[in-house]
Amino acid sequence: MKGRVLFFSLLQDLSGCAELAVTGAPATVGELLEQQLYPRWPALRDWDAALLLALDHRYVRRDEPLHEGFELALMPPVQGG
């Protein structure tokens, strides 16, 4: 399964990229985080409890299934002022 992951704000700094093409993606958002993203960028795990996850422009939980051509956005918590 192919898709892409978008990194926003300080998560771009942690990953060193704004976008990542993913091939061989697992079945769910949580599995993608655990199996492909956290091993590649361990510092992302520090943000695990606070990450906002959006699949195809819709906020989702980690058990959300992925599909061919998915777009997963990883965002830090929103801060306002």
Q: Does some domain include residue 80?
A: no
Q: Does some domain include residue 8?
A: yes
- In the block, residue with structure tokens 């061919």: 68
Q: Does some domain include residue 58?
A: yes
Mean pLDDT of 73-80: 85
Task: Report the CATH number at residue 34.
Answer: 3.10.20.30
Q: Does some domain include residue 13?
A: yes
Q: Does some domain include residue 81?
A: no
> How confident is the model at residue 78, as a pLDDT?
78
> How confident is the model at residue 67, as a pLDDT?
97
pLDDT of 79 higher than 80: no
Domain of residue 10, residue span: 2-75
Q: Does some domain include residue 34?
A: yes
Q: Does some domain include residue 26?
A: yes
> How confident is the model at residue 81, as a pLDDT?
58
Q: Tell me the residue ranges of DSSP E strands in 1-81.
A: 2-7, 19-23, 52-55, 58-59, 70-75
**20-70: per-residue pLDDT in tens?**
999 998 999 999 999 999 999 999 999 999 999 999 999 999 999 999 999
Where are the alpha helices (H) located in 1-81, listed in sequence order? 10-15, 29-32, 38-40
**30-40: per-residue pLDDT in tens?**
999 999 999 99
Provide the b/e sequence for 34-68 (b: ≥16 CB within 10 Å).
eebbeeebeebeebeeebebbbeeeebeeebebee
Overall number of domains in the chain: 1
